[in-house]
Chains A and B, each alone.
Chain A
Amino acid sequence: MTRQSSPPANQRAVETEGLRKAFGTNAVLGRVDLSLENGEVLALLGPNGAGKTTLLKILATLLRPSAGRGRVVGFDLMRDVEPIRAVVGLLAHGSYVYEDLTAEENLRFWATMAGLPADAGALRKVLAAVELEPVAAERARTFSSGMKRRLALARILLGAPRLQLLDEPYAGLDQQGKKWLEEVLLAFKGKGGAVILATHSFGRGLGIADRVAILAGGRIVLDRPRASLDLEELHRLYALHTENGP
């Protein structure tokens, strides 16, 4: 989301070891071991309550893990909170959109907060990239949920993130919007960016994924290259791990 200290070179986008998270006595994540290379897209599947959002929030430094270790773009999850925030873009359930500001004003606010250029030209360029330039001067209150989703993505695209953490990114988008999002993510991946795309739906996201992981009961129960799985087998494994297992 912002420029700041340069990340260590040749580091994996994500590397976690025995990551655990509990809220009181409720263990949400068991032992999560996960790694992601730069330029790689991971589709993280799992039913509701599997811990996908918690995992993304830990990687984005919004939550602290209860135990375990992790590095994001080479930075330590526990110690290097600020540098991680500078190189990670999070698309969460909330859009971080101020309803009474226009699309351009929303971006100006977040760009300034992140220490990025907030001139009209730069903002219009990002709005054009998410196809919101024609409504740049309209208040977000008048936007559909899909348009707010695009505006949220524009906020991420303002900076130069190395890792995008997307939680149910297709929610609220129409067919054209979903196709457009995949194009944006492919372009990001082409520039060496890494993506974790969390979803409970098989409909989208798998097409651009290099790997598929299933999170169930707070653990990664399957992590395979996308090319090694056809959709039918993936459905079978998903059912096996989430309904009959783990």
Chain B
Amino acid sequence: MMFARRAWIVLWKDLLTERRSKESLNALFFFALLLLFLFEFALGPDRERLAAALPGLLWLGFILAGILGLGRTFLVERENDCWEGLVLTPGDKGAIYLGKLAVNFLLMAAVEIVLLALFGIFYNVDLWGSVVPLSLVIFLGTVGLASVGTLFGAMTSQVRARELLFPLLLLPVQVPVLLGTVKATEAVLQGLALAEVGHWLKLLAAADLVYLVVGLLTFEFVLEA
């Protein structure tokens, strides 16, 4: 019960801070828009080429936005040494990790929804027909990305070269998630049933579980380091 209350108050605090400062969301929405323009310039109007590249582009957009957003997760804790205050709070520090993870998941989901809608409009792609299976794939991929991103965001927040170090740590570990999400998204957009990509979904779920458990178990050491 206490664990859940602590996780909830971290989520509440970060969402309130984001709502008032609008630092991350505004920047991420503009970044997503810029990405779409860049992809448009790079691929041109060729529909076939676009259809083949769409799953990769979609996840490239999510990952790049994630790198920007997730890396900033713990910067708010540096101001006025709030990090020290978190270290000094008694109890399981996993609650802080879970609260931060929930914030990151929600922020990323908001950006992904906007990016998906813009993809549909910009490239005239019908995503509505596959919205349910696509949502499941995106949900699993986002949990994986946010789980690792939250942990590495904490690890690198006190480092001077964090902007460089964060993607260097994050991307290699994300390989299973990236592989699974791109393959599953490709199949879903081609109209295949979810059952046909069951092995990718299982890989995603397993990776999510491993990342989540590792994050919960190691976060205390990251915070205290």
Contact = CB atoms under 8 A, between A and B. Distances in A.
Interface of A: 1-2, 4, 60-62, 82, 85-86, 90, 92-101, 105, 108-110, 112-115, 139, 148, 155
Contacts of B88: 1, 60-62, 85, 90
Chain A at the B interface: SS class: loop
Chain B at the A interface: SS class: helix
Nearest to B78: A94
Given A1-B89, A114-B90, A94 B81 contact: yes
Contacts of A148: 80
Given A61-B88, A115-B91, 10 more contacts: A1-B89, A2-B89, A95-B81, A98-B17, A98-B80, A101-B16, A105-B16, A109-B12, A112-B6, A113-B91
Contacts, number: 76
Nearest to A113: B89
Contact of B80 (A2, A86, A94): A94
Given A101-B17, A112-B9, A86 B81 contact: no
Contacts of B5: 112
Contact of B6 (A97, A99, A113): A113
Contact of A85 (B12, B13, B80, B90): B90
A108 to B, nearest CB: 7
Interface string B68-97: 000000001001111011111111000000
Interface residues of B, number: 24
B21 interface: yes
20 contacts: A4-B90, A61-B88, A82-B90, A90-B88, A94-B84, A96-B82, A98-B13, A98-B82, A100-B17, A100-B20, A100-B21, A101-B16, A110-B85, A110-B89, A112-B6, A113-B6, A113-B10, A115-B90, A115-B91, A139-B20
Interface in B1-33: 2, 5-6, 9-10, 12-13, 16-17, 20-21
